[in-house]
Every structure is written in structure tokens, then in C-alpha cells.
Amino acid sequence: MTDCSTCVVRNRAICASLDATEILALGKMGRKQKVRQGQTLLWEGDGAPVVANVLTGVLKLVVSTADGREQIVGVVFPSDFIGRPFGKESPYTVTAMTDAEVCIFNRNNFDEFASSHPDLQQKLLRRTLDELDRARHWMMLLGRKSASEKVASFLLEMSERLAGQGCDATMPKGGFELPFGRQQIADILGLTIETTSRQLTKMRGEGVLELPSRREIVINDRAAMEAMAG
């Protein structure tokens, strides 16, 4: 593992609570791993031998039914933590939506390290509670909201997670660049690509947002989008 002090998510990742000596010890346990778009890092129901911090890229969390149908139950971004500490099986499949890089740890070694570092355990607990809140929000999003509400809610969340990342410096305030295309947005929201594109076009026509390119979004009227999101 390279020097953790140069890590691009050092101040936002799960290890941010550790001091320099602890970071050095944890860094010796980890290694960087590139994950290509479409490559799976963990499989649902299989043993969970690793945990990881996301350094770059975006990955999806997927659960499957017995007949093979899939549902995206979450999306993780740089500084997010993936895997199941203190658990033997992965509750979901983790697959890269874009090319990504992760800082990966053997789960048993990480569990042992976390057990002796209360600050890290507390950080894990906070992350777990945050994920629980997001899961409850996701249930409402997928189960009760209309297509327009789903798209608006999704864009608001993406604006909070992605604003300022990978955008041209000349992009107006409120602008961000999605790391995936409209088909993937549709898959995340349980919609067709036609419905997703229609909702985006409608929002642009109403002046709520601009679409400088296929992946760039500029929210012009956040209050209006919040109202659309319900």
C-alpha cells in the first residue's frame, strides 16, 4: 500500500478518525486494486473475504431474486465503504458501474484491527446508521414515488454527492457530471430508458435544469426540483 497521507479520500473515508501511527498500521494491511467497469468485487451470498474504501469511480450494490431478477439497492462513491465487517457473507453483489479503484483489506485482518480501535468502530457504526437511513429512503423512492419524483429525487442526491467532481471549471453553480449514462440511471430507478429520458426532457423544457451534454446536469431551480421530488 502507498503512503495513506496521499490518499485522495483520506479526510472523508472510514479511516479519517485514526492518528498517523494507526493509519500507518492500517495502510500496511491494505492494497490498491483497480476494478474495471462491469467487474464484480463481491457476490451476494458468497463469503465476504474483503472490505474496501472506494477511492475513485462508482459501484452498485445489487440483490437478486431466485429467478435471476436483479434490483440495484444502492450506489457507492469515492470515500464510501463497502463490504461486511464482522460478517461472513456478502448481503449483495458489488459491481463497478465505471472504472474504479479501491483500497482493499482482508476482512479478518480489518475486523481484528477495528476491534482494538474504538474510534474506528464508532465510525463504522455511524456509517452503518447512515446506510440504514439511505436504505429506508431508497425503499420509498422505488416503492411509492412516481417516475418524475424518482428522477428528481435521484438528481438531487447526485448533486449532493457529485457537485464539483469531474466538471469543467466553467460549469455554472449547481452543475455536476454523472459517471454513468441514462440506461444505468433507468436501471437504478427501476424505469425504462425512454421514461427516464422523457422526464429529463420535461424538466429541461420547464427550465428546472439544463443538459449541456449526455452526462452533465445543471440544476437551475432547486426549489422546483425539490417540489417535483415530493
Residues 6+ apart with CB under 8 A from 79: 9, 12, 13, 53, 54
Sheet holding 40-42, edge to edge: 40-42, 93-96, 59-64, 70-76
Cell numbers for 104, please give them.
Answer: 482493499
Q: What is the pLDDT of residues 1-39, one digit of tens each?
A: 556 777 888 788 888 878 888 888 888 888 999 999 999
Give Cα 159 distance to the centre of its chain: 13
Phi, then psi, of 209 in degrees rounded to 5? -145, 170
**What domains can be seen in the chain, in order of their start residue?**
4-142 (2.60.120.10), 145-228 (1.10.10.10)
Which of 7-11, 148-152, 179-183 is most confident?
148-152
| Global confidence as pTM | 0.79
pLDDT of residue 168: 47
Query: Cβ(159)–Cβ(217) under 8 Å?
Result: yes
Q: What is the pLDDT of residues 39-80, one digit of tens each?
A: 999 999 888 899 999 999 999 998 888 788 778 888 889 989
Cell numbers for 158, please give them.
Answer: 447526485
